[in-house]
Amino acid sequence: MRMQGEDFEAILADYEMVALIANSEAVDIDAITRSLPERTLYVFFTGCAKVLSRPFEHDAILCHRLVAGGTRFLKSQKHFNRAYSLFSKPLKAEVGVLASPGVPDGTPPIPAARSSDLVPYTLDFDYKIGHIYPIKRVPTTGFAVAMWIAETMPKAQVCLCGFTGVASLNLSMYAEHDWTWEQILLQLFVKKGRILRFEETLGEATGSSARIHARFPEFSEATIALVASNVLANRFTGMERQMAKLWGMTKFQRRVRGFVRRLGNRLKRFKR
């Protein structure tokens, strides 16, 4: 059954907090559910099997990435089947997310929010937020949902869980996303109090920028921060691309290692 925008917003508004659960190794789902208010709505994504080891018992929404203009899902059916098996009660909503690559300045805005027949409700990041994402890079689904809620429902308490933007050994981070840019914008919203983070507050910068300003006062702190963020973004972008290449090159070795580990565990159980 198709859901209208106001219906979806009403579901979110009925909860004290909306917790977005990233598919990240940083997620400790038991710690999250123990710490957050009882009236919390948990937002998961299609690949939630990465963070859920058993059926989830709290109220939840499941979000899926849509591609090709909303005509198909990004993930395959096996991901959907696994995700559905991890919820012990009916989902409060199932949402499709549209978020296109960033386009050059001056590109005409999308005239109307898009929808898809594949899901009851379609969340259109491009229409709501506009053309702000870096050119030719693609927003992550979690970032798109977080920004959409923060902009559509500014009074909602949105809590990010596992949104670290940090690569791990076991979970892929794709180079087409601008993780650094997303973290900058999310942290700006955190600083303004419009978004919360479950994890500890990000550490403050070291005194290096203050030392530059003290020695060269003609450079304002704002200018130093802007230049520093651009330099870091360029460095991280290059590093992410190299890591993506290395990840692809070692896929076979990681599969072999995983197979050997599983085989070893089975032999141990057999010997018992």
Q: What is the pLDDT of residues 226-268, one digit of tens each?
A: 777 777 777 767 777 777 777 778 778 878 888 878 877 777 7
Quote the domain boundaries for residue 226.
204-272
Same domain, 196 and 226: no
Cα angle 33, 177, 187 (rounded to 5 degrees) comes to 55
Residue after which a domain boundary falls, among 170, 203, 236:
203
In the predicted model, what is the mean pLDDT of the chain? 85
Residue 41, helix vs strand vs coil? strand
Report DSSP letters for 125-147, one per residue: HHHHH-S-SPBT----HHHHHHH
Residue after which a domain boundary falls, among 203, 231, 258:
203
* Integer Cα distance of 263 and 243 in angstroms: 28
CA 124 remoteness from chain centre: 15
Same domain, 26 and 74: yes
Residues 56 and 88: beta-carbon distance below 8 Å? yes
pTM of the model: 0.76
Q: What is the pLDDT of residue 201?
A: 36
Number of domain units in the chain? 2
Same domain, 268 and 246: yes
* Integer Cα distance of 116 and 121 in angstroms: 8
Nearest to 15 by CA among 31, 35, 33, 37: 37
Eight-class DSSP state of 67:
E
Same domain, 241 and 159: no
Residue after which a domain boundary falls, among 171, 203, 235:
203
